[in-house]
Amino acid sequence: MNYDSRFRYTVKDLLFKPGVITRNFTSGKRMRYANPFRFFLSVSIIYFLISGFIDFMQINEVESENNSSLQNLFNFQKDKDKPEIALDSIAYYKDLALKTKNQDSLERLPFVYAREQSLDTTNFFERSFFKFKMFQGFSLQTQIKNPYQALDSLEYSKSRFNIWLYERENGFERIQENPVEFGQYLAEKIPVFLFFLAPIFACFFLLLYFKRYSFKYIKEELKNTNHKVFSRLYKIPYLGPFCLNLIACFRKFFVVKRKYNYMEHVIFIFHIFTFLFLVLLILLIPEFLIGSEVLSGIFILVIAPFYFYKALRNFYKESRLRTIFKFFILNSVFLLLGLVVGSVFFILTAALY
């Protein structure tokens, strides 16, 4: 089957048959559909490319207001009451007797400062945090962006870590100055974030979707075993029933049967993510024409949760009550997991910006 046919079947079943595409794909009909991982990356990347292009084409008359409001999310703001220091900061600090041990001269500095040797007694995290705050205050006061010049002025060693830390401070300052641009940069990384989040999320599916057999069923299965040693053991008076019940009890509590393996859960999650981006991609043009994002809001709040429920119901084939119960559990887990992993992702993205 050529790619055009696979693309058509994939889009049709994703949009109109929630959960069915995953069931067909895992049951052996893989040639009928596109690869779920590649298709997810393709759809999500196309969505962000077109979304970014539309944002670029739109005239945002309140961009400056949005920038100022978004700046409240960050704490790296200049103190307007403090005068900026001249770029020739080396001479400035020499005038303040920075190279001396006069503590009064250090207290007169417009930012926190400590000599590098005095930080050797602190642990790595405290030392790094103090350096970052000091570099932040120094950069805001002097407007020196070159890490080599800054470290020379502060009389800090030009180690790779100090240079990297000062450059990261400049990155956070760029976020403060233009948070919208950083938001667009962050949005471009969302497909990668979800790509690595899905395998973690699938672990919780393993904890929810399993089957335990009844104690009676396990005993009957053990009695009818074809293993000659165990078959004779179970027929021994007193010892046989004891061993039979002991082994059955062990299998009851410690052995579970999983109808779906780990990769099948991962494929199911990727199909859900692909559906979200596919519909959001389709809604881009109508929202651009009406000048509002109300359609995507309705989709995220109403249609997407219902689609997720139907996909769970159609793929895992469980009762409505069980599906609803697991639906709420999985949504709660996803929100909590997304909050924790998303925070780490945000910090790493900001650090590398």
> Is the domain of 226 the same as that of 88?
no
Q: 282: which residues sit within 8 A by CB, 6+ positions away?
A: none
- Burial letters 78-93, b for 16+ CB under 10 A, else e: eeeeeeebeeebeebb
pLDDT tens per residue across span 136-165: 778 777 777 788 888 887 778 888 888 888
Query: How many domains does the chain divide into?
Result: 3
Considering the entire predicted model, what is its pTM?
0.67
Identify the sign of the CA torsion 78, 84, 89, 95: negative
204 with 93, same domain: the answer is: no
pLDDT in tens, 280-312: 999 988 888 887 788 888 999 999 999 999 999
Structural domain includes residue 71: no
Same domain, 11 and 139: no
Long-range CB contacts (within 8 A, 24+) of 187-195: 187/48, 187/51, 187/52, 188/48, 188/52, 189/345, 189/349, 190/44, 190/48, 191/40, 191/41, 191/44, 191/45, 191/48, 191/277, 193/341, 193/342, 193/345, 194/40, 194/44, 194/273, 195/37, 195/40, 195/41
> Has residue 35 been placed in a domain?
yes
| Shared domain check, 156 and 276 | no
Query: What would the mean pLDDT of 39-62 be, rounded to a whole number?
Result: 77
Residue 88 sits in the same domain as residue 165: yes
- What is the mean pLDDT of the segment spanning 259-266? 90
Q: Look up the domain containing 228 and give its range.
A: 215-254
109/57 same-domain check: no
Q: Indicate whether 96 and 46 sit together in one domain.
A: no
Residue 184 inside a domain? The answer is no
Distance of alpha carbon 199 from alpha carbon 48, whole angstroms: 22
Same domain, 12 and 149: no
pLDDT band with cut points at 50, 70 and 90 for residue 49: confident
Q: Is 94 helix (H, G, I), strand (E, B) or coil?
A: helix
Does residue 65 have a pLDDT over 60? no
Domain shared by 147 and 31, yes or no: no
Residue 237 lies in a domain: yes
Q: Per residue in 304-344, pLDDT tens?
A: 999 999 999 999 998 999 999 999 999 999 999 988 988 88
In a domain, 239, yes or no: yes
Kindly state whether residues 201 and 311 are assigned to the same domain: yes
Structure tokens at 144: 């020196």
Question: What separation in angstroms does the CA of 63 have from each of 66, 69, 89, 291?
Answer: 5, 10, 34, 16
Q: Is residue 199 situated within a structural domain?
A: yes
The answer to whether residue 47 is domain-embedded is yes
Q: What is the pLDDT of residue 166?
A: 79
Q: Is residue 183 situated within a structural domain?
A: no
Whether pLDDT at 103 is above 70: no
Q: So what's the pLDDT on residue 143?
A: 74
160 and 203 in a common domain: no
Domain co-membership, 324 together with 346? yes
